Amino acid sequence: MTLPAPGAGRFAPSPSGDLHVGNLRTALLAWLFARSTGRAFLLRVEDLDRVAAGAEERQLSDLAALGLDWDPPVVRQSARTDRYDAAVDALSADGFAYPCFCTRREIREAASAPQVVGDAAPAADLAYPGTCRSLTPADIADRVAAGRRPAWRLRAARETWTVADLLHGSFTGRVDDVVLRRNDGLAAYNLAVVVDDAAQGVDQVVRGDDLLTSAPRQAYLGHLLGLPPVTYAHVPLALNGDGRRLAKRDGAVTLADLAARGRNAEQVLAVIAASVGLTGTPQDMLDGFDPAALPAGPWIVDPALL
């Protein structure tokens, strides 16, 4: 029996600013997971939201400075909107999408909004209460006539979905009526990432573990669209001394800021590598890379080490 060749892994930054050392650490791990398994490694620029001038160029330059390479071309989501529209149309034709006219305030205030599932579910992970699920054609026409532009939501046919994660094992999370296309016409993250991964042949998704709860939704969406499943690996985040997600406000945490303090890319790479128990160049790290040996907890970034 001949097994199919591995597909690809990817790193997909949003060009809203410079990458910090936590982002670079995730990129390094995504590269190691892909290259160590014989996969291609792709870069996708997720530029559907805020784009800072020059950010994409600086991000690619920083990745290259660490010794990471990628397989061309670099893909930008802003050039792929037709694919997202086609996916929403397909889901709608199968009865799995519907227009939603709710504002964020209306959703927050909905008395029927369900409670958080599980003690660890974040507040931002609350499910949509289904207000617009049963609108009649007349209801929809009235709202459109009043000048309200709808978003499009998934009409989920189940409440949970289970994914397999290389670091977290079997994970079951909630599936709800997530937004597929916003009311400004742009595809929502959960839809775009699923469509792009399938179109690019990505079968390995390595990213921060803050997105673990999104994986069941995305896997379910892929299932409804008839797309191949992916393998997940959600890696621990980099946190500041207060246990919060690392951000630019935490000081010199980007390559540019650290360069201003006299730290070159090789020195920064050494600190990042040490946080996952590795040394040397990315190519050197391939020989000793073992996902099972990765730290289970977050990387608490010590500014003194940078």
Structure tokens at 102: 């709710």
Q: How many CA atoms lie within 13 A of 277 on its CB side?
A: 11
Burial class (CB in 10 A: 0-12, 13-18, 19+), 17: middle
Q: How far apart are the first and last CA of the chain?
A: 50
Q: Residues for the chain: how many in total?
A: 306
Binding residue positions for L-glutamate: 10-14, 46, 189, 207
What distance lies between CA 126 and its chain's CA centroid?
18
Structure tokens at 288: 């000793």
Task: Please enumerate in sequence order all residues whose Cβ is within 8 A of that of 33, keeping only pairs 6 or more positions apart, or say none.
Answer: 9, 39, 204, 206, 233, 291
Binding residue positions for Zn(2+): 100, 102, 128, 132
Binding residue positions for ATP: 248
Under a CB-based contact definition with an 8 Å cutoff, are residues 99 and 132 in contact?
A: yes
Structure tokens at 282: 């990315």
Closest CA to 96 of 241, 233, 205, 217: 217
The string of DSSP letters for 122-135 reads -GGGPPP--TTTT-
Closest CA to 161 of 97, 98, 224, 228: 224
Three-class DSSP category at 207: strand
Binding residue positions: 10-14, 46, 100, 102, 128, 132, 189, 207, 248
